[in-house]
Amino acid sequence: MLEYGPMVVLAVIAMVAVIGLIPENAEDAALKFRRQCRADGMDFRETEAAIAIRKAFVQLRRLSSDQCVASCGKMDRDQINQIAGQVAIGLAAAHGRDAAKAFVGWIDACPDEEILYDDARAARHRMHVVSLRSKGLYPPKDVGIHDDYRNAFKIV
């Protein structure tokens, strides 16, 4: 029975791969995107520029989010646009002015919430809540309400 063990494991792996339960890696996603671009009639230069624009967007998101968290949520759209401008300069140098213009157009259409990652959005929310609480415009936390909810679900 032990001699059939490796074949059984191989058969299970093959079935899982056929069903599609094994997630694709980054190279598979890039190859799939390249094939889609080629099917749409894009040449090599346009395909590589499209991939670079998407990579630049991810780079912008990470740089903006890191800076937002480091500054405790004090980041506005002008600072995001400054970072986007720096990323666009590198994109223009590598892939041409059209790629940089497409990137900047994409960024201008995105709201801040889509650019910033969750950690940066949370830091930004904390900063706004603290500033509103200091002005008396945000309701204070009611600690007693937690006890009310806990008592409401007790079995009598």
Mean pLDDT of 120-131: 91
70 has a pLDDT exceeding 70: yes
Q: What is the pLDDT of residue 43?
A: 94
Q: What is the pLDDT of residue 23?
A: 67
In one letter, which amino acid is 136?
G
Residue 22 — pLDDT band, cuts 50, 70, 90? low
DSSP 8-class letter at 142: -
Mean pLDDT of the chain: 86
Alpha helix stretches (DSSP H) within 71-155: 77-95, 97-109, 112-115, 118-135, 143-152
Mean pLDDT of 129-144: 79
Task: Decide: 68 and 113 in contact? Cβ < 8 Å.
Answer: no
Residues 6+ positions from 64 with CB-CB distance below 8 Å: 75, 79, 80, 83, 115, 116, 120
DSSP string spanning 53-92?
HHHHHHHHHHHHHHHHHHTTT---HHHHHHHHHHHHHHHH
Tokens 């936390």 sit on residue: 141
Share of the chain above pLDDT 90, in %: 60
Residue 155 — pLDDT band, cuts 50, 70, 90? low
Mean pLDDT of 50-67: 95
Task: Decide: 79 and 67 in contact? Cβ < 8 Å.
Answer: yes
